[in-house]
Amino acid sequence: MLLDKRPALEEKFKILEGQLSDPEIMTNNRRYAKIAREHRDLSNVLEVFDRYSSLLENIEEDEAILMGDDDELKEIVKEELDGLKDDQVKLEEELKVLLIPKDPADQGAAILEIRAGTGGDEAALFASDLMRMYLRYAENNAWKHEIITLNELGSGGTKEAIIQINGEEAYGRLKFESGVHRVQRIPQTESSGRIHTSAATVAVLPEAEEVDIEINTSDLRIDTFRASGAGGQHVNKTESAIRITHLPTGLVVSCQDESSQHKNKDKAMKVLRARLLAEERDKQNSEVAALRKTLVSTGDRSAKIRTYNYPQGRVTDHRINLTLYRLEEITNGDLSELHEKLVAAEMVNRLEEI
């Protein structure tokens, strides 16, 4: 019964209230904000429980009247009871959604990695288009961004881009973008006007704090080298670029966009922590993901998730069989409708699991 879940939630709510008045937590802005957000969300859940409890009491009272002898009152109550029963169904559905365990990472920042796939220069140009789409989406949501790594080609395309997106629910919305994105269009360099298909991969990782992932310095090999490509006066003059190898896993992260070696190291460590956290989360979620019916949020980066067809002006998300004839708006950063549909599909899957 849904009401059986309330005592545990009330107990957790009291614990969170105590933590919000803890001086040690109050001086840690990031931790305090996280607890305050959880406290607010739980307060909303308990408020719905209050409405649900009150509704059940009203239903019980009306049903008792129906068992009595007052025929006139029975007629009044019978009509009222139908409406109360409808409200009961709606509130129960609302509570089921609210009780779905939330991923704490959904509320925070995201590390977005975009890489050109098959298709040569056209794939690199498509990767540039995807990067522009996500930066526009970030602007639409008043999120800030920081480019960690940008490897551009002479053709104007992007071989690789790693961007940090900072903003409330950035990861929770962008996580649906992980996977292979495919484009079908006539390349700018194609004289015969034939439609080509190329691809780019997107990986969206939750930002990891130092408390989330502990990295031993003895597990790292740090190499410095001279930056290459566009980079101003420091190119090929100072060894400001950094390459960090995490020896236990073999993960390699490099950064050369800053003129300062220290800044490049900080950025590379940020990406390394995010990748290590993603690997750990993948291990924890693998059993759950295997049970799910769709790839909506399993993080399977090898799965083809979306096709952008320019001749027909359509975008198709293959995970939920959704086609929208709004290619121009979507590639200009209007991902809201896509994400609403993906969130809805994910909710249906989670409710079925419950």
Element (H, E) at 200: strand 196-206
For residue range 119-150, list pLDDT tens digits in order.
888 999 999 999 999 999 999 999 999 998 89
Do 169 and 204 belong to one domain? yes
Q: At residue 232, does pLDDT exceed 70?
A: no
Q: Distance between terminal CA atoms of the chain?
A: 13
Q: How many domains does the chain have?
A: 3
Mean pLDDT, residues 324-340 taken together:
96
Same domain as 203, residue 113: yes
Q: Are residues 128 and 146 in the same domain?
A: yes
Residue where one domain finishes, among candidates 48, 71, 98: 98
Q: At residue 298, does pLDDT exceed 60?
A: no
In angstroms, rounded to a whole number, what is the distance separating the alpha carbons of residues 183 and 227? 31
Among 43-47, 125-129, 229-233, the minimum mean pLDDT is found in: 229-233
3-state DSSP call for residue 186?
coil
Looking at the structure, tell me whether residues 178 and 117 fall in a common domain: yes
Percent of the chain past pLDDT 70, that is, above it, reads: 88
Q: Are residues 310 and 207 in the same domain?
A: yes
The arithmetic mean of pLDDT across residues 265-289, rounded, is 76
- Domain extent for 238: 217-282
State the Cα–Cα distance between residues 149 and 252, nearest whole angstrom: 13
Residue 287 lies in a domain: no
Pick the residue with more confidence: 132 or 230?
Answer: 132
Strand partners, 162: 113, 149
Ordered DSSP codes for 268-325: HHHHHHHHHHHHHHHHHHHHHHHH-SS-SSS--TTSEEEEEETTTTEEEETTTTEEES
| Residue 340, in any domain of the structure | yes
Report pLDDT for 234: 42
Is residue 289 in some structural domain? no
Q: Residue 227 maps to which CATH number?
A: 3.30.160.20
Are 94 and 11 in the same domain? yes
Specify the amino acid at residue 9.
L
Q: What is the pTM of this model?
A: 0.71
More confident residue, 257 or 164: 164
Same domain, 182 and 314: yes
Cα-to-chain-centroid distance, residue 97 = 18
Question: Is pLDDT larger for residue 296 or for residue 284?
Answer: 284
Q: Do residue 318 and residue 178 come from a single domain?
A: yes
Q: Looking at the predicted structure, is the pLDDT value of residue 249 above 60?
A: yes
Asked which of 65, 98, 131 is the last residue of a domain, the reply is 98
Higher-confidence residue of 249 and 322: namely 322
Same domain, 118 and 187: yes
